[in-house]
Amino acid sequence: MIDLNSRKAEFEKHLEHLSQELKTLRTGRASTALLEHIHVDAYGVSTPLQHCASLSVADARTLVISPWDRSLLKEVEKAIVQANIGVSPINDGVVIRVVMPSLTEENRKNLVKSLGARVEQARVGLRSVRDKIKEEILKAEKAKEMTEDDRFALLKDLDEMTREFTDHVEQMGKAKEQDIMTI
Q: What is the pLDDT of residue 146?
A: 87
Mean pLDDT of all residues in 58-63:
86
pLDDT, tens digit (0-9, with 9 covering 90-100), for 109-154: 888 898 999 999 999 999 999 999 999 999 988 998 888 899 999 9
- Whether residues 115 and 95 share a domain: the answer is no
**Containing domain of residue 84, as a range?**
29-99
pTM for the full predicted model: 0.73
Using the predicted structure, report yes or no on whether residue 42 has a pLDDT greater than 90.
Answer: no
Q: What is the pLDDT of residue 28?
A: 67
If pLDDT is split at 50, 70 and 90, which confidence band does 183 have?
Answer: low
User: In CATH, what number is assigned to the domain containing residue 162?
Assistant: 1.10.132.20
Give the helix/strand (H/E) hosting 65.
Answer: strand 62-67
Q: Which of 100, 101, 108, 86 is nearest to 179 (CA)?
A: 108
Tell me which of 22-36, 92-106, 145-159 is least confident.
Answer: 22-36
Asked if residue 141 and residue 51 are part of one domain, the reply reads no
Dist. CA 38–CA 85, nearest whole Å: 10
User: Are 93 and 108 within one domain?
Assistant: no
Of 59, 83, 99, the residue at which a domain comes to its end is: 99
Same domain (yes/no): 13, 62: no
Number of H helices, E strands in the chain: 5, 6
Q: What average pLDDT does the segment 89-101 reach?
A: 89
> Is 2 a domain residue?
no
> What is the helix (H) or strand (E) element at residue 156, kind and residue range?
helix 148-181
Can you tell me the mean pLDDT for 23-45? 82
Q: What is the mean pLDDT of residues 6-24?
A: 89
Strand bridging mode 96-99 / 62-67? antiparallel
Closest CA to 19 of 175, 154, 149, 136: 175
Nearest in space to 80 (alpha carbons), one of 96, 93, 68: 96
Nearest Cα residue to 62 out of 37, 97, 93, 34 = 97
> 20 in helix, strand or coil?
helix
φ/ψ of 67, rounded to 5, equals: -65, 145
